[in-house]
Structure 1
Amino acid sequence: MVDATIIEAPSSTKNKEQQRDPEMHQTKKGNQWHFGMKAHIGVDAKSGLTHSLVTTAANEHDLNQLGNLLHGEEQFVSADAGYQGAPQREELAEVDVDWLIAERPGKVRTLKQHPRKNKTAIKGSVWRSEIFVR
């Protein structure tokens, strides 16, 4: 499993240098703006243990770090809708895994409104991964 989360940082400039941390950036999640960094995390699906962690500026897209989160022995990769298009990326073309990537919410709504277009059942639940640190 792979996912990313935002690590908030203070956006205040009331410090000795009178400026924000240059490694921190802004990003928008939904309608909310956040300031900080992003942690990209790779978790083993069976044990729940974290096998890779990469931190970047908050405005870095999740797909850009996907190659760094894979250790090479995966049989499948499950991810949220932010990783759509991963199998088509040039740097991931040689990765031999089953991609289990969630559909975007708008696509799920469309398929529910037109059930004849979709012959398989679709569950509209939100995909979340839990990370266990041992």
Structure 2
Amino acid sequence: MKVHSGIDAGSGYVYSITGTATNVHDIEEAGKLLRKDDKVAYGDSGYSGIEKRNDIKNDEQFSKIEFRINRRPSSIKVPDSYKGINWDKEIESRKSSTRCKVEHPFLIVKRQFGYAKVAYRGIAKNMNRFHILFASANLVMCARAGRSQEFCLA
């Protein structure tokens, strides 16, 4: 089982999750994770070509989203003799630094709540548990940020 998450780049809070079998590719769940008001979406190299998919291309809102997808590391070619700044690598590093916020809620779920290994009980039952775990992770991040309880629950 895999859990796919949609996370706000500004706050780092999880706003949507979906669960699939492990043989379902990440790009197939991307349309379910995007919000109508998203302007920019970040993803790893598994989301390459997302703007060409019919569910994204044919949707009026999703077709306007700017997708900033990391390239595969093997596609960044620079000769060893080059001594300057590798701008392609620098750009990919900037994308990764924004995209790393996706991993933080998973860290909280695994370390703080002890959910490091999935006990497979079916996708529906596991998703029930993941909704609670990620909502709790959002509350932990909110409390760490020093925000008031009203703001966290809104």
Query: TM-score, normalised to structure 2's length?
Result: 0.54
Distance 2:50 2:88 in 1: 23
Task: After TM superposition, give the deviation of residue 133 of structure 1 in Å.
Answer: 1.8
Moved over 4 A (4+): none
Aligned mate of 2:36, from 61, 72, 75? 72
Check if 1:107 corresponds to 2:75.
yes
Query: How many residues matched?
Result: 93
| Cα root mean square deviation, aligned | 2.3
Q: Secondary structure at the match of 1:46?
A: coil
Aligned residue identity for 2:11? S
Higher strand share goes to which structure? 1
Q: Which amino acid aligns with 1:68?
A: K
Bigger helix fraction: 2
Structure 2, gaps ≥5 residues long = 106-136, 140-154
> How far did 1:122 drift?
2.3
Q: Which residue of 2 aligns with 1:62?
A: 26
Deviations 1:32-84 (A, max 9, x none): xxxxx000000011111101000000111000000000121101000111100
Counterpart position of 1:122? 89
Normalization by structure 1: what TM-score? 0.61
Percent identity between the two aligned chains: 28
How does 1:1-134 map onto structure 2 within 5 Å?
Answer: 37-93=1-57, 94=59, 95=62, 96-108=64-76, 110=77, 112-113=78-79, 120-123=87-90, 125=93, 127=96, 128=100, 129=102, 130-131=104-105, 133-134=138-139
